[in-house]
Amino acid sequence: MEPDSLPTEVILTHPRQSLGNVTLDWMPQPGNYLDLKGKTYAVLERRHRYQLRSGRYRLQKVALYVQSASRPVESTLVDGRWVIGDATCVYNARSELIRCAINPSGPCDRCRDYQPVET
């Protein structure tokens, strides 16, 4: 195993099933998207699994809990992270997982409830 590679088990949340084991060279965070076997998944949760070796716990692998998703077309960079939708709207959730409560499926550019954030 290479020093920057991370053994990862990808688990689909519903219906619960393992999609397999992969080796990643990046640390996936909730809200990131992962392409696996021609499909795109949204990362919902990440769990670390450790093993005791020589009196020390060492990271053995990571479990990613994912759901099937499509990459959002609209995204905005806010404080160094990408959020779904137009972050200049008052109703935007500023989240990697949900756009807003009023128009969660989007798109933002034709939303009749759009209201700009007051500065």
pLDDT 10s digits, 12-37: 998 999 999 999 888 888 888 899 99
Q: Band of the pLDDT at 81, cuts 50, 70, 90?
A: confident
The pLDDT, as a whole number, for residue 80 is 79
Please report whether residue 17 resides in a domain: yes
pLDDT mean across residues, the chain: 87
Same domain, 59 and 87: no
Domain that holds residue 99: 73-119
Distance CA 37, CA 86 (A): 30
Same domain, 35 and 21: yes
Which residue in the block uniquely carries the two structure tokens 């809200």?
31
Residues 68 and 39: beta-carbon distance below 8 Å? yes
Domain count, the chain: 2
